[in-house]
Structure 1
Amino acid sequence: MNTWVPWIEIVPYDQSHGKLRMLYDRVTGPGNNVDNIMLVHSLRPHSMEGHMALYKSVLHHTGNTLPKWLLELVGVYVSLLNRCAYCVEHHYGGLKRLLNDDGRAAALRATLESDDLGGLDPREQAMLAYARALTLTPAETTAGHVHAMRGAGLSDGEILEVNQVTAYFAYANRTVLGLGVTTDGDILGLSPNSGDGDDWTHR
C-alpha cells in the first residue's frame, strides 16, 4: 500500500485518462505500479514524457558503451552526494540486479558512502572524481578531470556518458527532493526492459 503523501497534487493511475494514462501505461511496472518520481509529474504529462526520454537516452540506451552497472554506480554516488535517498535506493537496487553479486554491490556502496574512492580501480576513481566535482562544485570542474578519465582508458564518447549520467541525476535528485518524493509503494531495482528508446516498461 502506498502511504506517500505528496507535497503537490498528483493524479493516481486509476484516475488518469488521455495522454497521462497513455504515458502511465508506458512506464508501468508489475501490477500497473508507477514509480513516484513519475507520478509527481502527473499535472504536466509533457514533463513526465521529457523526463523518461532523457532517462532512457542517458542510462539505458544501446548506443552507450560503458557497462550499465557502472553508469548506475555513478548515479548512486551522485545521489549520495546530493543526499537523495530515493534515487540511492532505486539505483542501488538496479546496480545489485545488474551485477548479480550482492557482496560486490554492498562493498561498492560502502566505498561510496565512505567517500574514500582509493580502493576502486583507476577508471572508476577517475569517473567518480569527475562526478563528485561536477555535483558539488560544478564551476570548479576542470579539463584535468576529463584528462584523468581519458588517461584511465575512457574514450571521449564514454566521458560524455559519465557527464550526462551525472547531469541527469542532478535533475532527478532535485525533482525528488524538491517535491517530497519517497519510495513508499515503489518497487525498487526495476529498470527498462530494453535499450529501445520507445520501450519504457519496467520489469
Structure 2
Amino acid sequence: MGAWIRMIPDDEAGPDLREVLDLARTPHGTVDNVMRVHSLRPSTMRGHVILYRAALHDDSNALPTWLQEVVSAWVSTLNACPYSFANHWANAAHLIGDAERADAIRAALDAGQPETVFEGRELAILRYAEKLTLNPGNMVEADVVALRDAGLDDGEILEVNQIVGYFNYANRLLNGLGVTTDGDVIGYYKAT
C-alpha cells in the first residue's frame, strides 16, 4: 500500500469499513489503493466505487469499452497521473487486442497527438476530453455540437462527459495524496 496518508489494512478494519472494502473489491479479490486511500472515511469510498462503476463499467454504456479505456488513459496522461494511466492503459491495450495498434495509440497519447491515429468520432471524443480536462471554464455548446456532428447521440455524449469528469476527480485524488500502485494488481483484466 502506498500513499501519503494512512490506509487501513483489511485486518484492522471495523465492521463499517469491512462492508465498504467488500464492495470495493476487484474481480481479483483485492482493494486497489485508489479505493483504499478512502479507508479513513468509508462513506467517500462507497461513493467513489459507485461513481467509478457507473461511469466506466456499466453494461448500459454504449461506447466501446476499449474506447472508454482510451479516454480514461488520455485524461490521465493530460493530468500526469501515473496511477490511473498504468491501470487504464493496461485495460485499453488488452481490449484493443492488437499490439501494433495499441503501441501506435500509446505513442500518439504520449506525444499529445491523438490525431495521428484517430479521426472522426473517436478524435472528436478525445478533443472534447482534452478541452474539458485542460480548459473546463472554456467549454461552450459548440463542443457538444461537435460531438453530435461526429455521430454521437446525447447518451454517448453524457458517457464521455462522465468518464472525463470521473478521471479528473480520480486523478486529483491520486496525485493529491501520493497514491501509488504498490501492492495493486495492475489492470482490470489481468489474470490472477
User: Scaled by the length of structure 2, what TM-score is found?
Assistant: 0.92
Choose which of 134, 142, 145 in structure 2 pairs with 1:144.
Answer: 142
Letter in 1 for 2:146: A
Between the two proteins, the alignment pairs up a number of residues equal to 190
Within 1, Cα distance between the matches of 2:28 and 2:78?
A: 33
Identity across the alignment (%): 46
- What's 2:8 paired with? 11
Report if the CA contact (8 A) 1:86-1:183 is conserved: yes
Within 1, Cα distance between the matches of 2:147 and 2:89?
A: 23
Report if the CA contact (8 A) 1:126-1:145 is conserved: no
- What's 2:100 paired with? 103
Within 2, Cα distance between the matches of 1:161 and 1:106?
A: 25
RMSD (Å) for aligned C-alpha atoms: 1.7
The alignment partner of 1:77 has SS state of helix
Within 1, Cα distance between the matches of 2:169 and 2:71?
A: 14
Choose which of 115, 123, 126 in structure 1 pairs with 2:112.
Answer: 115
Within 2, Cα distance between the matches of 1:95 and 1:30?
A: 17
The alignment partner of 1:66 has SS state of coil
Distance change in 2, residues 1:103/1:19 (3 Å): farther
Report if the CA contact (8 A) 2:23-2:46 is conserved: no
Aligned-pair CA distance for 1:30: 6.8
- Alignment map for 1:1-203 (pairs within 5 Å): 2=1, 4=2, 6-29=3-26, 32-119=29-116, 120-190=118-188
Distance change in 2, residues 1:189/1:130 (3 Å): same
* Contiguous gaps of at least 5 residues in structure 2: none
Within 1, Cα distance between the matches of 2:100 and 2:187?
A: 16
- What's 1:197 paired with? none
Within 2, Cα distance between the matches of 1:141 and 1:112?
A: 22
Report if the CA contact (8 A) 2:7-2:38 is conserved: yes
* Contiguous gaps of at least 5 residues in structure 1: 192-201
User: Scaled by the length of structure 1, what TM-score is found?
Assistant: 0.88
Within 1, Cα distance between the matches of 2:15 and 2:26?
A: 19
Aligned-pair CA distance for 1:139: 0.9
Moved over 3 A (4+): 29-32
The alignment partner of 1:62 has SS state of coil
Cα deviation per residue 1:36-58 (whole Å; 9 max; x = unaligned)?
Answer: 11110000101000000000111
Aligned-pair CA distance for 1:174: 0.6
Letter in 1 for 2:53: K
Within 1, Cα distance between the matches of 2:14 and 2:99?
A: 40
